[in-house]
Structure 1
Amino acid sequence: MAANITESWEKQSADHQKQYKQFLQRADKNKVLKRLPDLNEEAFEKIDCLQCGNCCKGYSPRFKTTDIKRISKRLKMKEGDFINTYLNLDGDGDYVAKTAPCPFLGVDNYCSIYEDRPSDCSRFPYTDEDVLLKRQQLTLKNSTFCPIVHFVLEKLIAEK
């Protein structure tokens, strides 16, 4: 059973941002990519996302065209109505949720569209794929609000 999130990880992550940045810039890509599946699994065993929900409370995924089609079908809405009701275009031209927390997040941190959630949500926090290294700024940002990213980075740094 996954443990509750400890309070200290957020401060530790904030204190370690410089260390994370240096690690990501210098990391042995092949070595890190080999370790990610196991570290990702270990993190998800130790940390219960339903105790946190920071990703859904403060940030929005991109809603790609395929996501919009799938979710609006699930909600029995026309795509245009779904977009008008729930989404805005951001500065990059991506559809994102109009509100934070995500309109599909329940008070229990469960997602009401979980099976059909956007691909960004199903992939988050990218701790089992090369995005962790390829998009370093994103990884650093994610480490400030996601204990899983913090956990994986701490483990990788400890192993080097």
Structure 2
Amino acid sequence: MGEDLLRNWHKKAVEHRKQYQGWLKRADKNKTLDRLPALHAEAFSHIDCLTCANCCKHYSPRFKTPDIKRIARRLKMKEGAFIETYLRLDTDGDYVVKSSPCPFLGADNACSIYEDRPSDCARYPYTDEDVLLKRPQLTLTNSEICPAVYYVLEKLTAGAAGG
């Protein structure tokens, strides 16, 4: 059943964006948060990130100061050199990768700094935490980048008007 739900997921995510947007405005926070851990686990029982890697190909996490320190140390680089080589400031004043795909993404879709990756990467796609509700625009964007977000939203909105 999960594989059927994921067939043409990107196209369906785009088509369902307004439905998701309306649902996110009306969602019962406590009921939703109670359901997220199980839905997150269910989604990832059907999705292998290494066959997808859309997040690493089309999205940049924020690199916060602890991330920069940790990754620079791992790469045996000075923090300034790491920033200059790999990062730029975005319009929000956050450090993000200069280009897509992520420079740490390998041809096999594996991350070369996985153990030390930014906290945003470790938390992505936020389908098991309140970010899903607190940042609806991010959730809508992520539904078109990550099949797990699409999957969770489809399960949460099942039976909702227009669904």
TM-score > 0.5 by shorter chain: yes
Shift of 1:6: 4.8
Residue 151 of structure 2 aligns with an amino acid whose one-letter code is: F
Q: Could you list the per-position Cα deviations for residues 37-84 of structure 1 after superposition, in whole angstroms to 9, with x for gaps in the alignment?
A: 000011111111111111000111000000000000000100001001
Shift of 1:121: 0.2
Residue of structure 2 in register with 1:79 after alignment: 79
Shift of 1:159: 6.1
Q: CA contact under 8 A between 2:88 and 2:97: conserved in structure 1?
A: yes
Q: Counterparts of 1:61-76 in structure 2 under 5 Å?
A: 61-76=61-76
Residue of structure 2 in register with 1:130 after alignment: 130
Moved over 6 A (4+): none
Distance in 2 (CA, whole Å) between partners of 1:155 and 1:58 is: 24
Residue of structure 1 in register with 2:12 after alignment: 12
Residue of structure 1 in register with 2:26 after alignment: 26
Shift of 1:134: 0.3
Residue 36 of structure 1 aligns with an amino acid whose one-letter code is: L
SS of match in other structure, 1:145: coil
Residue of structure 2 in register with 1:57 after alignment: 57
Residue of structure 1 in register with 2:96 after alignment: 96
Distance in 1 (CA, whole Å) between partners of 2:118 and 2:159 is: 33
Query: How high is the TM-score relative to the length of structure 2?
Result: 0.93
Q: How many equivalent pairs are there?
A: 158
Query: How high is the TM-score relative to the length of structure 1?
Result: 0.95
Structure 2 residue runs of 5 or longer lacking an equivalent are none
Shift of 1:105: 0.2
Residue 91 of structure 1 aligns with an amino acid whose one-letter code is: T
Distance in 2 (CA, whole Å) between partners of 1:116 and 1:12 is: 34
Structure 1 residue runs of 5 or longer lacking an equivalent are none
Residue of structure 2 in register with 1:117 after alignment: 117
Q: CA contact under 8 A between 2:6 and 2:151: conserved in structure 1?
A: no
Distance in 1 (CA, whole Å) between partners of 2:83 and 2:102 is: 14
* 1:29–1:6 distance in 2 versus 1, CA, 3 Å: closer
Shift of 1:158: 1.4
